[in-house]
Amino acid sequence: MATPERLTLLLGGAALGAVSMAAYHKMNQPRPMAAAVRPSPPPPSMPAPGPQGKPAVADPRENARHILPFGFPGPVSDIVYRNAYVTSYNRRDRNPNWVAEHLTKDTLKRADGVDRQNSKFKEDDQIPVQFRARLSDYYQSGFDRGHMVPAADVKNSQLSMDETFYLTNIAPQVGEGFNRDYWAHVENFCRSLTSKFDNVYVFSGPLYLPHQEADGKFYVKYQVIGNPPNVAVPTHFYKVIMTESKGKYSVGAFVLPNQRIADSTPLEAFKVPLDAVERGTGLTFFDRMGPSKASVPDLCKQTKCEIVLSKFHKAKKDAAALPS
């Protein structure tokens, strides 16, 4: 298992991999399309004269009208707003870039009649069809449909709980030992923070980190599930946490490998600097805090950072310890 220093190094040089384009293209031959009428590009415009009759330097944005007369190709990150979370969806990897939530004691209260059994996984119709993660991608893939915002965080509304089952809030996770265990413990840790802090803000998402192989070189390799291959399997996942009480803040960042993790592993073994997650994801967290962001206290110095087993997992662990 990677040490915190090793994770920081890998995060600093993280890059996204790609499946074989030739193989992918073969499995995704485009359907014939009707011939389109090509619009005429806009006529060139001359820059206005500058001071003393000298020609003015053309605005590069004006030049873009002639370079891209038929539109900007992207990339596009779809922002989807739900009742209990906001997500940024990556069309290429068919996974979220990040999913954000805000936890308080009140939001975690269970409402009458709310039951996870009433919720079903579903494709997100807010995403264009050609870029959607599909339910069939996960079928017999060997991976769980892992929540970024867990259903247990939104027991105050059946609608909000149902919305956590959209595939824009889901990524492929190893089941036994991770999604069903250690990742769930980290989720429970996040919820437990509301007993000490008034507001808990959590960002969750995937990472695709390089791995050093026998030749000493680093490679980014990850599986892609679906037929044809459609959804990237992250190598790691992150949780970035900001807490607030009475105007005082603290922050913590954790990166976990997408693999079995023993319950005995300390949570702080996965603690990394916030800027390491930012380098690895290409994201900027809490930018509205301005320069003060750099001096926000360490969450793990304000409270004990340790996994918290739910009643369900405690019972599961106790049952496993009983003699057969």
Ordered DSSP codes for 230-291: -EE--SEEEEEEEEEETTEEEEEEEEEESS---TTS-GGGGB--HHHHHHHHT---SGGGGG
Flag whether pLDDT at 18 surpasses 80: no
Average confidence (pLDDT) over 282-301? 96
230: CB partners within 8 A, 6+ apart:
94, 133, 134, 137, 224
Query: 49 pLDDT band (50/70/90 cuts)?
Result: low
Average confidence (pLDDT) over 72-94? 96
Q: 195-247: per-residue pLDDT in tens? A: 999 999 999 999 999 999 999 999 999 999 999 999 999 999 999 999 999 99
Asked if 56 and 48 touch (Cβ cutoff 8 Å), the reply is yes
Flag whether pLDDT at 323 surpasses 90: no
| β-bridge partners, 100 | 86, 203
pLDDT score recorded for residue 2: 57
pLDDT score recorded for residue 118: 97
Within 21-103, strands assigned E span: 77-81, 86-90, 95-103
pLDDT score recorded for residue 58: 73
Q: Is 147 a catalytic site residue?
A: yes
Average confidence (pLDDT) over 67-88? 95
H helices present in the chain, as ranges: 4-12, 21-27, 60-67, 135-138, 158-163, 183-192, 274-281, 299-302, 311-321
- From 25, 147, 185, 211, active-site residue: 147
Flag whether pLDDT at 12 surpasses 60: no
pLDDT score recorded for residue 39: 56
Average confidence (pLDDT) over 121-137? 98
Sole residue written with tokens 């906001």 = 86
Q: Can you tell me the distance from the alpha carbon of 72 to that of 187, in angstroms, rounded to the nearest whole number?
A: 38
Q: How many Cβ atoms sit within 10 Å of the Cβ of residue 174?
A: 21
Asked if 200 and 103 touch (Cβ cutoff 8 Å), the reply is yes
| β-bridge partners, 205 | 238
And the tokens for 114? 């709310």
- Of residues 17 and 196, more confidently modeled: 196
pLDDT score recorded for residue 59: 84
Q: Can you tell me the distance from the alpha carbon of 230 to that of 292, in angstroms, rounded to the nearest whole number?
A: 41
Flag whether pLDDT at 17 surpasses 50: no
pLDDT score recorded for residue 24: 39
Flag whether pLDDT at 188 surpasses 60: yes
pLDDT score recorded for residue 23: 45
- Of residues 75 and 16, more confidently modeled: 75
